[in-house]
Copies of this chain bind each other. A is one copy, B any other.
């Protein structure tokens, strides 16, 4: 990968990295580092580890910290990493964010606290404000993670605006998993200094054309090569090629999205690597049964993956 891409911060094609688990459902550190290297080699500009796809909230804070350490020990460049540090507990998010910052990660991707519903913007503002104040380091680059279908919490534009006004340096970007291109375009227009990353590579080209920074996506675990080609064609101004590649990329994503995405991706990784342990998932997620797996493997063009 291009070193220049690394130094500008999370931009381009980022995988929301899967977390491989051993038979006892503990993160498999060696397989995790190997997968990160595989994704960088396949063209990812960056790696958003410990997000929804990474089953991060199914891990304890200690397990997240240990797995993060293991990635660094395994030679994954810290500056390619945008780890999720969201948690319902302020103190956990502060601890995880500080560890990421001290290791030299590109930034941190932070969910709103997601247990309570209907809490109002004041409480959400105070959560992010407390995180920033408690981390207490000007180098912090916080990315707001909007995924209301999981959190049940809305990060509305007035809240984002208020946070940018209060912490213009620290609030660096957002991952928007709403799937709503209109909202993504509005974010790009209203907040020109915010790095806006779509939560799916289906919206990669459109997000880039709207002035966004790229995408962070679950399916990029297996579509990174093609996604990177879309990005490169776009930045080189080869518009027709970018569009044709985007169409292929969206079709590829569509073939995977027909199944519960995280279990499907782990089943695909098991097929691609020949390592059955890839199928392990922490509850409440479940692996597809044999019939569903066969169906998946026959409908997704494996040769086009990774």
B60 in contact with A89 (CB, 8 Å): yes
Given contacts A115-B114, A115-B150, contact A89 B283 (CB under 8 A): no
Residues of B within 8 A of A58 (CB): 88-90, 113, 115
**Beta-carbon contact of B284 and A119 below 8 Å:** yes
Whether a CB of chain B sits under 8 angstroms from the CB of A127 is: yes
Give bound CA distance, A297 to B188, whole Å: 45
Contact pick for A127, options B90, B114, B120, B283, CB 8 Å: B283
Q: How far is the CA of A127 from the CA of B117 in the complex (A)?
A: 23
Cα A277 to Cα B126 with chains together (Å): 18
Q: In this complex, what residue of B is CB-closest to A130?
A: B283
**In whole angstroms, what is the CA distance A119 to B285 when docked?**
6
Q: A25-B90, A88-B57, A89-B60 are in contact. Are A283 and B115 (CB under 8 A)?
A: no
The answer to whether A126 and B284 have CB atoms under 8 Å apart is yes
Q: Are the C-beta atoms of B283 and A124 separated by less than 8 Å?
A: yes
When the two chains form the complex, which single residue of B57, B113, B126, B285 contacts A89, counting CB atoms closer than 8 Å? B57
Q: From B92, B116, B150, give the contact of A285 (CB < 8 A).
A: B116
Q: How far is the CB of A299 from chain B (nearest CB, A)?
A: 21
Residue from A25, A88, A130 having most chain B Cβ neighbours under 10 A: A88
Q: Which of B90, B150, B153 contacts A116 (CB 8 A)?
A: B150
Most chain B CB within 10 A, of A25, A112, A119, is at: A119
A60 touches B91 (CB 8 A): yes
Assembly CA distance A112 to B89 (angstroms): 17
Residues on the B chain within 8 Å of A122, using CB:
286
Q: Which of A23-64 contact B (CB under 8 A)?
A: 25, 52, 57-61, 63
Chain A: interface residue total (CB-CB under 8 A): 38
CB-CB under 8 A from A298, the residues of chain B are none
Q: Does A209 sit at the interface, judged by CB under 8 A?
A: no
A273 at the interface (CB under 8 A from B): no
CA–CA, A122 and B57, complex, Å: 19
Give residues 93-130 of A contacting B (CB, 8 Å): 95, 112-117, 119-120, 122-124, 126-127, 130
With A60-B95, A123-B283 known, 4 other A-B pairs at CB within 8 A are A57-B113, A60-B92, A123-B285, A127-B284
A to B CB contacts below 8 Å, 23 in the list: A52-B115, A57-B88, A57-B113, A57-B115, A58-B89, A58-B113, A58-B115, A59-B91, A60-B61, A60-B89, A60-B92, A60-B95, A63-B89, A113-B284, A116-B284, A117-B149, A117-B150, A119-B285, A120-B286, A126-B283, A126-B284, A127-B283, A130-B283
